Amino acid sequence: MSIDLSQFHAVFFEESFEGLELMETSLLELDVDAPDSEQINTIFRAAHSIKGGSGTFGFVQVAEFTHILETLLDRIRDGDQSIDPDGIELFLQSVDCLRGLLEGLQAETEPDTTRAKQLAGVFQAVLDGGSYADSANVVKTNAITGAPLDAPTGSPEPTLSDVTPTSSGTRKQIGFSIVFKPEEDMLKGGNDPVRMLRELATLGDITSHANTDQVPDFDQLVVDHCYLSWDIELLTTCEIDDIEEVFEWVEDECELSITPIYADISSATEQHYSNSQDDAIDKKIQQATADGQRLVMPSGPLPSLDNLQLAGPGDVANNLPNSTPAVPSVEVAAAKPAPPTQPKSTAKPKAAKVEASSIRVGIDKVDSLINLVGELVITQSMLGQMGSAGDSITDEHIGNLREGLVQLEQNTRELQDSVMRIRMLPISFTFNRFPRMVRDISIQLGKQVQLELSGENTELDKTVMEKISDPMVHLIRNALDHGIEMPDQRKAAGKPEVGTIVLNAFHQGGNIVIEMTDDGGGIDTERLLTKARNNGLVGENEQLTQEQKLDLLFSPGLSTVEEVSDLSGRGVGMDVVRRNIQELSGSVEVSTEMGVGSTFRIRLPLTLAILDGQLVTVADQTYIFPLVSISESLQIDSAKVNNVAGGSDVYNLRDEYIPILCLDRLFGLRQEAKVLQDSLLVVVESEGQKVGVVVDELLAQQQVVIKSLEENYTRVQGVSGATILGDGTVAMIVDALGLSGLAGNEIAAAQKMAIEAVA
């Protein structure tokens, strides 16, 4: 009887990815001067497990690669082979390579083994007595040329600067053909695809063609989705590493292929133009470059210099879709396409991003569920016996019934808590990805940065954890790029040359708080205010508090950085960070001190499925406010209500003017508006902006299960969802952020009143 092993694939991939994370963490912690044998054993065991599992399931590519990796690790473990920083870098690259192979296999696509073959050759060279550094140079060279490591030495593929004689003259690489297909959600991570094109333009002459096939109808457009892709032709003398660096931080969020472009230049042509007309040719080429044009020579007899044709960028773009990847930009006779070499490609199929469909649950959580189910069965049995009493119900029966209902309520609440705990995972699942990122970026920037983690065992709902990862990445990249100073600057300021970023997580009330603190230079709020005024976001004479100045960080397109880097500084991303956090019903706060550092504090609900709410009534309708958004509730004092121009009302709350929003008027619940002095005011706060919401009555506070209104009906501004109450009625859950958006006129009126009061 044969066994279908495919049913175990999910477990294999899950354990393999966990093994890779363990390898990466251990490699980053390994001290090359005094290697810890236990850490090396941990790395070895992880590689050994992946090799064994992949061999069992017939994943030959993974098994072969991990075999040679395991052999080298075994020699290091036995003391026959040393390890140094270059070796750590190569092992980290092998982790990335294995992750790519496994993602391809998980998505049931044929994985690209080019990189695996290169690294396998490197490790074999080390096993044969070579050094890590020399082998790393081989990897870099082969990564540029695309030649396999086992290719015969002495016959490398031509690089950008190489010219290989042919029978007809010279064959030369003149640029690259690039296909760039961003994923739809690239913008959510703060990455701007257009920035990649601008960066490419600094490397040479660029011609791009935007593909609009995936753009939906206008009413289906989502503002933060990217629907475009680009076919690009780059004429340049730079190397492929320079192009890869442009896309370095988005390679997991796009499909990308980079293919060399070659052209044949005949010997006769070279001789014709190699003597007296060199300067004239240079001048002609410079003119073409300055005009964004290309130099094209028709086949046939050699033309005079004046007959060289200039082709505009539009001509190139028109031919891009139907051209081969190797489109020549200098043509003498008929230019030949590039030979069928392996194109450099980092393309990843979208299906490769397979979200984990399972989570690991501790046995204690399972035991708790089993015990609670047993309690429910007992309670059910007790209530069932009471139901069989028929007409002979006594006071004792009623007392037992009440006791049973109390027990049922308690068991149900405990069962609910236990089920929610099933989805709770330690935040270390998110934190563990950052040490590698901090290491790589700090090396790239020439900075010395250490990352300290605290509260890794703090538990968070799996869904929330998955969605908070991208905002955290953006905040850490900003801290590395703009927060932490260069070592010489830190030394001059009396600080340690090594900067520190601290990630901390802890529970506070019904929320989880994630703090990211750096000991960098802090945020210059005055420069931020100046930039905001220059951009028209703040009036020339408008005065802001420190909190309001820091809030400008989240304005689209605003940045205090003078020089834009590959990582950040374009004012794109912080607004997306806040929006993503708010979509999780969370908030982000900033505090800073010049010369000392900054702290970003993210506050999130433990789960998105249940919230603690305050029930209110408005015109016989029940609404629910999340307790976390309510700052206070009070009886309206008509003497403190002010009506301003435009018919908007504001309320003087301890000398702070807040806008008033009437839900009955907003949702059309009454024919005639209720007198304000007979109502209550619920003050909600979002993004530092308070809004007073007029309600008729405050009811109880209770936990409610959130149901998506958008999935079941349609999106309603000011309403984040719905729930079913105990009596079967449906109640809307009010969105504090949405109310702030609806109260635009009222907020403006309140700000005007505040300014006039100060004056």
Is the pLDDT reported for residue 716 higher than 90? no
| pLDDT confidence band for 241 (50 / 70 / 90) | confident
* Lowest-confidence pick of 114-123, 281-290, 381-390, 474-483: 281-290
Judge whether 397 and 389 are in contact, CB under 8 Å. yes
Is the pLDDT reported for residue 162 higher than 90? no
Question: What is the distance between the alpha carbons of residues 232 and 207, in angstroms, rounded to a whole number?
Answer: 6
- 632-640: long-range contacts, CB 8 A cutoff, minimum separation 24: 632/683, 633/680, 633/681, 633/682, 633/683, 633/698, 634/680, 634/681, 634/683, 635/680, 635/681, 636/676, 636/677, 636/679, 636/680, 636/681, 636/694, 637/677, 638/676, 638/677
Q: Select the more confidently predicted residue: 311 or 8.
A: 8
Helix (H, G, I), strand (E, B) or coil at 389: coil
Mean pLDDT (the chain) is: 76
The pLDDT, as a whole number, for residue 357 is 60
Residue by residue, DSSP assigns 622-663 as EEEEEGGGEEEEEE--GGGEEE-TTS-EEEEETTEEEEEEEH
**Tokens 């802001």 sit at which residue?**
544
The pLDDT, as a whole number, for residue 243 is 87
Is the pLDDT reported for residue 280 higher than 50? no
Give the mean pLDDT of 151-163: 35
Most confident of 576-590, 674-688, 708-722: 576-590
Return the CA Rg of the chain. 32
Closest CA to 564 of 572, 556, 576: 572
Give the mean pLDDT of 724-731: 84
| pLDDT confidence band for 454 (50 / 70 / 90) | very high
Q: Select the more confidently predicted residue: 651 or 265.
A: 651
Judge whether 695 and 617 are in contact, CB under 8 Å. yes
Is the pLDDT reported for residue 164 higher than 60? no
The pLDDT, as a whole number, for residue 602 is 92
* Lowest-confidence pick of 396-410, 497-511, 517-531: 396-410
Give the mean pLDDT of 285-300: 44
Is 75 buried (19+), middle (13-18) or exposed (0-12) by CB count in 10 A?
middle
The pLDDT, as a whole number, for residue 683 is 92
Question: What is the distance between the alpha carbons of residues 295 and 608, in angstroms, rounded to a whole number?
Answer: 59
Q: Which helix (H) or strand (E) holds 166?
A: strand 163-166
Helix (H, G, I), strand (E, B) or coil at 607: coil
The pLDDT, as a whole number, for residue 218 is 81
Is 2 buried (19+), middle (13-18) or exposed (0-12) by CB count in 10 A?
exposed
| pLDDT confidence band for 316 (50 / 70 / 90) | very low
Closest CA to 253 of 184, 310, 341: 184
Q: Select the more confidently predicted residue: 173 or 225.
A: 225
How many residues in the chain? 759
Q: pLDDT digits over 343-361, tens only?
A: 444 444 434 445 556 677 7
Question: What is the distance between the alpha carbons of residues 561 and 571, in angstroms, rounded to a whole number?
Answer: 9
User: ∠ at Cα 458 (689, 629), nearest 5°?
Assistant: 20
* Lowest-confidence pick of 88-92, 413-417, 432-436, 475-479: 413-417
The pLDDT, as a whole number, for residue 264 is 54
Sign of CA dihedral 20, 25, 26, 32: positive
Question: What is the distance between the alpha carbons of residues 180 and 590, in angstroms, rounded to a whole number?
Answer: 35
* Lowest-confidence pick of 368-382, 388-402, 711-725: 388-402
Residue type, 188: K
Kindly state the tokens that stand for 550. 């820091």
| pLDDT confidence band for 299 (50 / 70 / 90) | very low
Q: Which helix (H) or strand (E) holds 712?
A: helix 709-712
Please state whether beta strands 309-311 and 254-266 pair in parallel, antiparallel, or not at all (unpaired).
unpaired
Question: What is the distance between the alpha carbons of residues 156 and 150, in angstroms, rounded to a whole number?
Answer: 11
Is the pLDDT reported for residue 123 higher than 70? yes
Judge whether 332 and 270 are in contact, CB under 8 Å. no
Closest CA to 659 of 736, 563, 569, 559: 736
| pLDDT confidence band for 505 (50 / 70 / 90) | very high
The pLDDT, as a whole number, for residue 519 is 93
The pLDDT, as a whole number, for residue 323 is 35
- 712-717: long-range contacts, CB 8 A cutoff, minimum separation 24: 717/741, 717/742
Q: Select the more confidently predicted residue: 84 or 219.
A: 84
Is the pLDDT reported for residue 736 higher than 70? yes
* Lowest-confidence pick of 102-106, 118-122, 130-134, 313-317: 313-317
Give me the residues paired with residue 632 across strands: 683
Question: What is the distance between the alpha carbons of residues 660 and 643, in angstroms, rounded to a whole number?
Answer: 10
The pLDDT, as a whole number, for residue 756 is 61
Percentage of residues in the chain with pLDDT exceeding 70? Answer: 75
Is the pLDDT reported for residue 268 higher than 50? no
The pLDDT, as a whole number, for residue 746 is 59
* Lowest-confidence pick of 23-32, 150-159, 727-736: 150-159
- Tell me the pTM: 0.58
Give the mean pLDDT of 532-541: 83
